[in-house]
Homo-oligomer: A and B are copies of this chain.
Amino acid sequence: MTDPELVRAYHGYIDCLNAQDWPGLDRFVHPDVAHDGKPLGLSGYRKMLQADYRAVPDLHFNIVQLVTKAPQIACRLRFDCTPSGTVFGLPVNGRRVRFEEHVFYTCDAGLIRDVRSIIDTEAIKAQITRT
């Protein structure tokens, strides 16, 4: 895959998440995908994302900065949402929070195979402490 193809594929992946098109996830994610070193596989990865949507019903993935060099992708994702209960161990309880996630992906045959993510939980904490 060329870099422009990878950019297009990544946008397709993000559109797939935002549409909650779970059957379509296999067009972007490798059957043996791992997340932060955990070998979830496609079905485990899908379950993780579905759980994210249950915790944050208005979840929406926004690409802020995208750096691609095949087979690698790095992305800053921004969220602006109202998690209903506790997320990342933080009692957000319906408040509106804005935060980023910085994610690195390695692809294999054009599919996301390894994901390394850090979520800015400090930003969320600061927002729920302040309000």
Please list the residues of chain A having a beta carbon within 8 angstroms of any beta carbon in chain B. 3, 65, 67-69, 72-74, 76, 88, 100-104, 106, 116-122
Would A116 and B67 count as touching, CB distance under 8 A? no
Would A118 and B116 count as touching, CB distance under 8 A? no
User: In the complex this chain forms, how many copies of it are found?
Assistant: 2
From B88, B104, B117, B121, A67 is in contact (CB under 8 Å) with: B104
Tell me which residues across on chain B come within 8 A of A103, comparing CB atoms: 102
Q: A3-B69, A74-B74 are in contact. Are A88 and B118 (CB under 8 A)?
A: no
- For the complex with contacts A67-B68, A74-B102, 19 further pairs of A-B residues with Cβ separation under 8 Å are A3-B69, A65-B72, A65-B104, A65-B106, A65-B116, A67-B67, A67-B72, A67-B74, A67-B104, A68-B69, A69-B69, A88-B122, A100-B116, A102-B103, A102-B116, A102-B117, A102-B118, A118-B118, A118-B120
Interface of chain A: mostly helix, strand, loop or mixed? strand
Would B76 and A67 count as touching, CB distance under 8 A? no
Tell me which residues across on chain B come within 8 A of A68, comparing CB atoms: 67, 69
